[in-house]
A and B are shown apart, each in its own frame.
Chain A
Amino acid sequence: MSDFALRILTRQETVLATRVTSVLIPGSEGDFQVLGNHAPIVSALRPGRIVAACNGEQKDVEVTGGFVVVTPDHVDVLVDLADLTPG
């Protein structure tokens, strides 16, 4: 499975910047999963949890208020607040 760059950004800091193989996005119209080579999409987000997965490792980030920009080789999540859940 092809991996791609994921960035979760707030105005103050880069909360997460890593390569992943899959990410689950809480879109305003419902959750959706993004894999490598996804069609370009811009979506509003609802408050919720982003689940980023890479080779069996998983990272959870709680986000509120923002957008996601998906291109075939990277995903940018731009939010007001993001909190990386430890573990």
Chain B
Amino acid sequence: MEELRDLRRRIRSVRSTQQITRAMSLVASTRLRRIERFVEPARTYAETLRRIVLDIAARTPPWAHPLLKPKEAVTRAYLVITSDRGLAGGYNAEILRRATDLLGAANLIPGHVVVVAGRKGRDFFRRRGPRPVREYVHLPDTPDEALARHISEGLLADYFEGRIDSVHMVFARFVSRGSYQPDVVQLLPVEGAQHAGYQDQTRIPVTHNEGDRNEVIGRNNGTRDRERPNGPHLPFTYEPSPESVLDRLFPHYLVSAVYAALVEAKASELAARTIAMDSATDNAGELIERLTLTYNRARQAEITQEISEIATGAESLR
């Protein structure tokens, strides 16, 4: 009797957990649908600007502009974009592992700094170090240029005032509703000043590679970026001059790159949460099935025992 009641209680509790996970999955996938359409424009915008920046970088002598000057990267800054809330499977853990790998590869040289977006990342680095120099939490649910502007102004100020020598951004790239890919991009200084066309090589080995990414994207949703990189290297004329265009274009580009990363990160987070909550719902279903089986067995055993007791009782009365 005791056992039966216990089982019933457990089944009920798993069932209510399942209702919650199902609701969370539904909410996440609805929000994902809402934000998904912002990913492509943000990406196109940032990549178009990036190509122009790289083009200017490729034909301007590196010493001509502070943004192009390769500095000895003594103090590297990592902008790590995580989420405010958990229950998204391995999403934050993957980003943070990527970030700590980078910090580890840099031998955790004191002076390497972390700028963090999202509560999960903030809590992680506060606990484990290095302590974030700037923290951005309460990330907006819908893409927000103001936040991107805020973040990139902070980075530019730190860079120009010599507090940091390079900036990398660690975030999740949204691939499809079923997957995302942690990625690292160098933002500052602009690389590619070696007239290498649109080559995107950074000093650390783990950076993204444009070719690979296109392949991933192509495999997952059947579309391929059409006029993507290595297009003809056009001899652009810059109005009024390359330097002055770069002066104005660069902040614009940085905002766009950070904005695009925030959008991709948000979409990835929601995709991760949808997946995690779906599988939690499935697991709960399995658990309910198993518990129900055990429950029925126990109930049957009890009935069998009662019958045999009655039978024995009747026998003894004879």
Contact = CB atoms under 8 A, between A and B. Distances in A.
Interface of A: 9-14, 27-29, 39-44, 65-67, 69, 71, 76, 78, 80
B239 A27 contact: yes
A9 B41 CA distance: 8
B48 A44 contact: no
A76 to B, nearest CB: 6
Contact of A44 (B38, B234, B248): B248
Given A10-B41, A11-B41, A11-B260, A67 B249 contact: yes
A18 to B, nearest CB: 16
A33 to B, nearest CB: 14
Contacts, number: 73
Contacts of A43: 238-239, 245
A71 B42 contact: no
B239 A12 contact: no
A28 B239 contact: yes
Contacts of A11: 41-42, 45-46, 143, 145, 256, 259-260
Nearest to A44: B248
Contacts of A80: 145
Nearest to A43: B239
B237 interface: yes
Given A14-B41, A44-B245, A66-B252, A9 B237 contact: no
Interface of B: 38, 41-42, 44-46, 48-49, 52, 56, 143, 145, 234-240, 244-245, 248-249, 252, 256, 259-260
Contacts of A40: 234-237
Nearest to B239: A43
A78 to B, nearest CB: 6
A9 B48 contact: yes
Contacts of A9: 41, 44-45, 48
16 contacts: A9-B45, A9-B48, A10-B41, A11-B42, A11-B256, A11-B259, A13-B38, A14-B44, A29-B240, A40-B237, A42-B56, A42-B245, A44-B239, A44-B244, A67-B52, A78-B48
A12 B143 contact: yes
Nearest to B249: A67
B161 to A, nearest CB: 25
Interface of A is mostly: strand
Q: Which 9 A/B pairs are nearest by Cβ-Cβ distance?
A: A43-B239, A40-B234, A41-B237, A40-B236, A42-B236, A11-B45, A42-B238, A13-B41, A44-B248
Contact of B45 (A10, A39, A42, A71): A10
A29 B239 contact: yes
Contact of B237 (A10, A14, A39): A39
Contacts of B46: 11
A67 B252 contact: yes
A24 to B, nearest CB: 15
A9 B48 CA distance: 10
A69 B238 CA distance: 9
Given A11-B41, A78-B49, A41 B236 contact: yes
Contacts of B259: 11
Nearest to A13: B41
Contacts of B41: 9-14
Given A10-B41, A67-B49, 6 more contacts: A28-B239, A42-B238, A43-B245, A76-B48, A78-B48, A78-B256
Contact of A42 (B38, B143, B237): B237
Contacts of A65: 252
B253 to A, nearest CB: 9
Q: Could you say which of A11, A28, A40, A42 has the most chain B C-beta atoms within 10 Å of its C-beta?
A: A11
